[in-house]
Chains A and B, each alone.
Chain A
């Protein structure tokens, strides 16, 4: 059995995400966004982070509003059901709480940037973004002539984050992780990053992982730390564990419109909350219960026998 990498959220973030890091998160798009990890980044006062990823719903906005971020490399920064991200807007337009630079991607080109790093090559080619002002302004998207035909393509430069924070359904103590449902760019992000923090709803025995190796999308040798953090993705959903708290996103939208309101929101939901268990308590049993899976839908077992 491999050695345990189980640790607390506080320790994982303290050890593996120094200020100034490039962090990829929100890799499964609207699902499994590592909010608990993001809130710990805020509580520990990380500064000068570069956030990377296709999108992270309102987590990017919160990290920006809390002053942790100096650069965002992403395709979409806002509130999926609310619209704009007000903290992001304040930072870009008025440098509140500080200036944030953006390097704008599309979902495809962000996926390709991580894929190139995952493959160990300097770029991946695409026909996307031709004619878009994005490739005129993002120096990581460069036109080049195809060496094998007459086409021109866009080279998407490999993106190698310092750390990937990936929320999963279950993992063993060594970091072998099962995830399913919305995968997005998670697999390539884990391979692309220099180290990976796995945030798991459940810690399971290695035998459970080994029983279904097709579902092991992150192997232990990529992983630096494993954190057991139930409800760690709330208000985003985790397939098979809990649903999306739509009202929370709407409430955040209202409560982040004005700077003072956002600061109160941040105090209430992040800064005055020691960790995820207390956060869940603050949500209340009723709200947590409403998000529970109403009808389980287990896959048929696959026979790995021989």
Chain B
């Protein structure tokens, strides 16, 4: 009864206060699928408040990790804690403060955006009709779906559907928000808008953003990790990580025909076409000469060199 009579403002503030010191901790999380695939291999991470980028190629185990944190999957071993919640033992408690945008989701047929949002609001414990109306209105405006609120979700474009996805993840001021590959399939404008929205929320709560697009992380996340083959290969603040590769990345523009030779001689971490020729980034502790110049390293180079390292290790 007490909880029901509390005003929105105070609960909201309380939620934020609670979220302030909250941290998501993963300890030795391992997941082996029945077919023998090691999707996660002793993953340990400490995720503080703010945006946290989880970068990795397709099949790296990102979605498995996301679903494990989101209580959709029980890992084979390991521990997941969020604040004082033991997520594996009490998934119900985490779900009360969880917002999750899956990589891909469907919709019920013949259900409008507003109805679906309203329905999910009920599921998340927004009990009174007035609260739900406020929630639905605010969120639909926030993600700019207000004008199409009465349309069936099934007819939405990819961007609209993704915006709906983020709206539902925000219901009830969650303390932990998990977004799995949210920008895939969005046009640049949609993407910017979407990331803005995330950044805004990320000031107060833990937001984990999984992606294979380096720029998403570079633009937004104070901290990040790189997951390859189920293992954490790199973890830290992007700025520091970039700093770490300074002086080891070299670049040169080569003709297409030369590329095989360059690949053979150097450890090429990335190639990019520029006006018909190929710009090559290579990893080397010393100046390789041969026309290479020091590159202005970005997060992309950090990422690709990590992947290259993982490939070498494998």
A and B together in one complex:
no
